Amino acid sequence: MRRLFWLGIFILMLVPALAAENQGPDARTAPAPESQISQWQQLSANEQEKIKANWEKFKNLPAGEQARIRQNYQLFARLSPGEKRQFVERYHHWQKLSPAQKAGLAEKLETLKKMTTEERQKWLRKYQQWKNLPPEKKRQVLQRINQNRR
């Protein structure tokens, strides 16, 4: 699964080079970086086929969606190695969630988006306090919440 994620990132690295196909002969003659060629050659035929299929899907997306994906890749490319690692860990965590859990998180995100700046800052302060609580204290708080619900 992790390898497929990196394959997705790799195809996004190839997007600018492959997009040159549509920009005329001068753009196509620009050499691809050797590291990308080497990475490509190290992939199995099956992996290369998956990337090619994803490229075809990408080419068929509306221009706005392609632009959004390119922009997200540029943002990802600017992250430090530690930030990239953290992003990948969060992505893998997200993939493991059930559809119901994902829907619940999406709802919470929408709630956060609707908050005023002050409300969001207050919520973030409380969240930081929660994160910094020792595990035993968290258990006690959760027990009190559950008792109050009964």
Task: Please tell me the total count of domains within the chain.
Answer: 2
What is the spatial distance between Cα 146 and Cα 139, in angstroms, rounded to a whole number?
A: 10
Q: Per residue in 121-139, pLDDT tens?
A: 998 898 888 889 899 988 8
Say if 22 falls within a structural domain: yes
List the structure tokens of 32.
């691809």
What is the spatial distance between Cα 135 and Cα 101, in angstroms, rounded to a whole number?
A: 23
Say if 147 falls within a structural domain: yes
- Single out the residue in 54, 73, 96 at which a domain terminates: 96
What is the spatial distance between Cα 43 and Cα 115, in angstroms, rounded to a whole number?
A: 46
Coil, helix or strand for 61? coil
Q: What is the pLDDT of residue 101?
A: 92
Same domain, yes or no: 54 and 116: no
Same domain, yes or no: 119 and 75: no
Q: What is the pLDDT of residue 26?
A: 44
List the structure tokens of 116.
């005023």
Of 13-17, 27-31, 82-86, the range with the lowest mean pLDDT is 27-31
User: 94 and 102 in contact (C-beta within 8 Å)?
Assistant: yes
Same domain, yes or no: 72 and 146: no
Same domain, yes or no: 18 and 92: yes
Same domain, yes or no: 45 and 82: yes
| Predicted confidence band of residue 19 (pLDDT cuts 50, 70, 90) | very low
Q: Per residue in 37-94, pLDDT tens?
A: 888 888 899 998 998 999 999 999 999 999 999 999 899 889 899 999 998 998 899 8
Same domain, yes or no: 120 and 66: no
Of 21, 48, 43, nearest to 32 by C-alpha is: 21
Question: By residue range, what is the domain housing residue 147?
Answer: 110-150
| Predicted confidence band of residue 9 (pLDDT cuts 50, 70, 90) | low
